């Protein structure tokens, strides 16, 4: 028997799979289908890392598991390619983002194939190809037609270095997440998607999803539905009234001051000559903080505006403050502060020596108008970037927006020489003078120079996989009815935004008759990260990133890497890379292969059936680590008692989802198919039971007793007294014995 050579075996089987298009699938009505996908990666120049490997391998284990059971399984692949990294690299080097992206995709594809993934490569997509983003633009236009894509002017995070708008989650400690430059708030006209139109449905259907509880909780908190009332407070001196939103209108008698957000539209109407400078300085400082910082800041800050409002319940005059713990996007941007009933208000009142009144509660609807509000705001989707999907809008001479006709799609990204945004903050698209001009219905117009946030491209790609080369529609209706919704979706990022956005688009397109379902993903698997050996997060800057190809080419092979990443720990938890365990998994696979050289005339039917059931159940419940552990135990047992041919056939079949190259080689040598084995219940019921033996109440031994002997008390006692572990405690005699057959406990008193 030749020795186990993983690199040689893997090269052989990867060539076979590619030449035979082993994983290419088509619709087969009437057959059981499964559609599995991972959150597709951004193809960086660094290539795949071991975190990608965990993500992709989970999908691959399930793909092969269901294929072996006869399912028609679609497992596609794609690349989320728009964004700042390629644009910044282009600005720095002058290399076109299109060229950078192609190089990176080629590398990712090569690495994924080297890992032996069961991918239908005929369904590969790339969000920055015109064939794809034509339909992203079409999706935008459907939302625009229904008034769900609209423009408004509002304060946005602005990075002066990258010259682009940033979302809240892209601002970290007041700095841009990409370049680290300090950000600022800028009032700009931007494009939004009206996701709030679907807020109630997005919230109401969360509990029914087969998703991890922590993800569902995060989604609920992000939507942040609050039911309460809007209450008007007149302002002394004739300034416009202040309307507050409160979830506790019944506490209004205890309201001793009002607080408005720094972005509150009527703030300048509240100041006077004495307070104006301090208020505006406070506002400028607050606009440099992210909303997360403002919410988490334990020390309350604020400035008195100089204005007083009238409490409509008590008719008393109360001061109006500006403070950054109030957010402009929540409610009305103004609150009534009731320090006796709210911890944040109490902290503020104590700091500024304001009254704390424990007043009597009133009837809930006595003051104000009932109102429901949400923490979630409409989705800001325009970016001042070159490397993004162009927004299919043009403006007439009066500045009114018009949809680019669908027969003029795609709006192609023009070639430019300089990728930097111009001094006005517009993207480099503004430099393509000829491209800017477009004629619609005989009128010359000017194209929009903003591009779409990358989340728009990833909000519909799961449906494009069903018919990736369709040039007549974003997705084919027959194909989508067969494959979608996605049965299992796997990822470790984008717990809130991306998952909310794909749910929003799914509901919208269902309403428009383009989708026959309202939820895009049946089951979500959200896995933990793989960290460096010291437990720290892997990053290029720390120099602690593990390159999967290094592990493979060191001689371990792809099967070892795949199996190790499934064995590393429970899928939902973070885990630290352990080089010693990688070697341990390699030795396990080597032992599997070596069993082929010593096939015995044996039939280990009991342990075989128990292993089939254990591994099957564990994969169904995503307990991949314990499934691998069960296979290791099975191999250990086979080395003790000898492995028969049927034992090795079953081992190979159960091993295939984790180590497909080795398993395929073993099955070929055993002249067996790869159909998933079934267990026989009769071999799972043991004819023996375990009896715990205590001496003076302390556990001293465990006996294996035939079930038929369990009712023979004396026989069990005699077995116990004959056990070497018990003899040393009973040398001086036994006072009495107490045997409880139902509990399977024997207590010996000495």
Domain 225-374 matching CATH 3.90.1150.10: the answer reads: no
Q: 225-374 and 688-749: same fold?
A: no
* Integer Cα distance of 282 and 325 in angstroms: 12
3-state secondary structure of 533: coil
Q: DSSP letter string over 128-177?
A: TSHHHHHHHHHHHHHHHHTT-EEEEEEEEEEETTTTEEE-GGGEETTEET
Q: Where are the beta strands (DSSP E) in 160-291?
A: 164-166, 171-172, 175-176, 184-193, 225-235, 242-246, 257-260
**Among 660, 77, 84, 87, residue whose Cα is nearest residue 416:** 87
Tokens 């008698």 locate to 253
* Integer Cα distance of 509 and 590 in angstroms: 51
3-state secondary structure of 308: strand
Give me the residue spans of the domains in the chain: 27-128+455-531, 225-374, 577-682, 688-749
Q: DSSP letter string over 653-694?
A: HHHTTTSHHHHHHHHHHTT---PPP---GGGTS-SEEEEEEE
How many helices and strands, by DSSP H and E, does the chain display?
24, 32
Q: How far is CA 493 from CA 499, 514, 521, 526, 624, in A?
A: 10, 28, 16, 8, 20
Q: What is the DSSP letter of 335?
A: E
pLDDT digits (tens, 9 = 90+) for 297-340: 678 899 999 999 999 999 999 999 999 999 887 889 999 999 99
Biggest alpha carbon distance in the chain? 111
**Among 621, 655, 659, residue whose Cα is nearest residue 525:** 621
Q: For 688-749, which CATH class?
A: alpha beta
Describe the chain by its helix, strand, coil percentages, rounded to 5: 40, 20, 40
End-to-end, the C-alpha distance of the chain in Å comes to 58
HEC string of 43-71 equals CCCCCCCHHHHHHHHHHHHHHHHHHHCCC
Q: Which fold has domain 577-682?
A: Isoleucyl-tRNA Synthetase; Domain 1 (1.10.730)
The token duo for 534 is: 């010291």
Decide: 334 and 232 in contact? Cβ < 8 Å: no
The pTM is what? 0.85
**Among 521, 517, 514, 516, residue whose Cα is nearest residue 145:** 514
104's enclosing H/E stretch is: helix 97-114
Domain 27-128+455-531 matching CATH 3.40.50.620: the answer reads: yes
Q: Spell out, as residue ranges, where the chain has pLDDT lower than 50.
A: none
The predicted structure's pLDDT at residue 238:
85
The predicted structure's pLDDT at residue 184:
83
CB atoms within 10 A of CB 143: 20
Q: How far is CA 158 from CA 14, 161, 390, 538, in A?
A: 48, 9, 20, 29
HEC string of 579-619 equals HHHHHHHHHHHHHHHHHHHHCCCCCCHHHHHHHHHHHHHHH
Q: Sign of dihedral through CA atoms 84, 89, 90, 92?
A: positive
pLDDT digits (tens, 9 = 90+) for 639-656: 999 999 999 999 999 999
* Integer Cα distance of 300 and 354 in angstroms: 13
**Among 715, 701, 707, 709, residue whose Cα is nearest residue 745:** 701
User: Mean pLDDT for the chain?
Assistant: 93
276's enclosing H/E stretch is: helix 276-286
**Among 724, 725, 705, residue whose Cα is nearest residue 714:** 705
Who contacts 488 (Cβ-Cβ below 8 Å, separation ≥6)?
34, 35, 36, 37, 59, 62, 522, 523, 524, 525
Phi first, then psi, for residue 176 (nearest 5°) are: -65, 135
Instruction: Return the bridge partners of 379, or none.
Output: 193
Alpha-carbon torsion, ordered 608, 611, 612, 617, to 10 deg? 160
């Amino acid at each position: 028997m030749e020795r186990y050579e993983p690199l040689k075996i893997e090269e052989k089987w990867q060539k076979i799979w590619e030449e035979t298009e082993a994983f290419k699938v088509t619709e087969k009505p009437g057959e059981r289908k499964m559609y599995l996908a991972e959150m597709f990666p951004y193809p960086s120049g660094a290539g795949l890392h071991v975190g990608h490997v965990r993500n992709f391998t989970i999908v691959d284990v399930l793909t092969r598991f269901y294929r072996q059971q006869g399912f028609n399984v679609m497992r596609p692949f794609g690349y989320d390619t728009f964004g700042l990294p390629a644009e910044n690299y282009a600005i720095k080097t002058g290399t076109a983002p299109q060229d950078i992206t192609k190089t990176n995709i080629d590398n990712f594809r090569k690495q994924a194939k080297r890992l032996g993934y069961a991918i239908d490569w005929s369904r590969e997509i790339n969000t920055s190809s015109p064939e794809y983003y034509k339909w992203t633009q079409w999706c935008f236009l459907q939302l625009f037609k229904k008034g769900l894509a609209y423009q408004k002017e509002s304060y946005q995070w602005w990075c002066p270095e990258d010259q682009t708008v940033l979302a809240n989650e892209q601002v970290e400690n007041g700095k841009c997440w990409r370049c680290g430059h300090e950000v600022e708030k800028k009032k700009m006209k931007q494009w939004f998607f009206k996701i709030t139109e679907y807020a109630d449905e997005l919230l109401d259907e969360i509990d029914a999803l087969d998703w991890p509880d922590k993800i569902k909780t995060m989604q609920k908190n992000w939507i942040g539905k609050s039911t309460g009332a809007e209450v008007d407070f007149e302002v002394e001196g004739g300034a416009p009234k202040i309307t507050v939103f409160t979830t506790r209108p019944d506490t209004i008698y205890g309201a001793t001051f009002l607080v408005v957000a720094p972005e509150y539209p009527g703030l300048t109407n509240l100041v006077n000559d004495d307070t104006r400078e301090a208020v505006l300085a406070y506002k400028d400082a607050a606009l440099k903080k992210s909303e997360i910082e403002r919410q988490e800041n334990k020390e309350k800050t604020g400035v008195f505006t100089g204005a007083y409002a009238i409490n409509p319940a008590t008719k008393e005059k109360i001061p109006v403050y500006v403070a950054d713990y109030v957010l402009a996007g929540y409610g009305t941007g103004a609150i009534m502060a009731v320090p006796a009933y709210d911890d944040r208000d109490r902290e503020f009142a104590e700091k500024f020596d304001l009254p704390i009144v424990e007043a009597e509660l009133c009837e809930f609807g006595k003051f104000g108008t009932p109102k429901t509000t949400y923490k979630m705001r409409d989705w800001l989707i325009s970016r001042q970037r070159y490397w993004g999907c162009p927004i299919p809008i043009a403006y007439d001479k009066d500045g009114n927006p018009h949809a680019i006709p669908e027969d003029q799609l795609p709006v192609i990204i023009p070639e430019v020489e300089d990728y930097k945004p111009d001094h006005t903050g517009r993207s480099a698209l503004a430099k393509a003078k000829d491209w800017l001009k477009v004629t619609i219905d005989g009128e010359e117009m000017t194209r929009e120079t903003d591009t779409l946030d990358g989340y728009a491209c990833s909000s519909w790609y799961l449906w494009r996989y069903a018919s990736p080369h369709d040039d007549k529609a974003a997705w084919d209706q027959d194909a989508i009815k067969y494959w979608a919704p996605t049965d299992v979706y796997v990822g470790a990022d984008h717990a809130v935004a991306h998952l909310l956005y794909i749910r929003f688009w799914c509901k919208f397109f269902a309403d428009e008759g383009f989708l026959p379902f309202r939820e895009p993903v049946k089951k979500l698997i959200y896995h933990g990260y793989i960290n460096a050996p010291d437990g720290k997060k892997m990053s290029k800057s720390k120099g602690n990133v593990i390159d999967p190809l290094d592990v493979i080419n060191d001689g371990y092979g792809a099967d070892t890497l795949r199996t190790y990443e499934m064995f590393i720990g429970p899928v939902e938890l973070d885990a630290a890379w352990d080089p010693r365990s990688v070697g341990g998994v390699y030795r396990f696979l080597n032992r599997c292969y070596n069993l082929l050289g010593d096939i015995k005339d044996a039939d280990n039917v009991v342990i075989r059936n128990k292993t089939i059931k254990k591994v099957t159940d564990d994969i169904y419940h995503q307990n991949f680590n314990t499934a691998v552990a069960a296979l290791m135990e099975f191999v250990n047992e086979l080395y003790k008692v000898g492995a028969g041919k049927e034992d090795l056939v079953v081992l190979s079949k159960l091993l295939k989802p984790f180590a497909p190259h080795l398993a395929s080689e073993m099955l070929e040598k055993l002249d067996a198919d790869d159909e998933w084995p079934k267990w026989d219940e009769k071999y799972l019921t043991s004819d023996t039971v375990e009896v715990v033996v205590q001496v003076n109440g302390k556990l001293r031994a465990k006996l294996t007793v035939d079930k038929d002997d369990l009712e023979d008390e004396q026989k069990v006692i005699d077995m116990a007294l004959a056990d070497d572990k018990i003899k040393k405690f009973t040398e001086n005699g036994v006072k009495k014995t107490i045997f409880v057959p139902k509990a399977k406990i024997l207590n010996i008193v000495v």
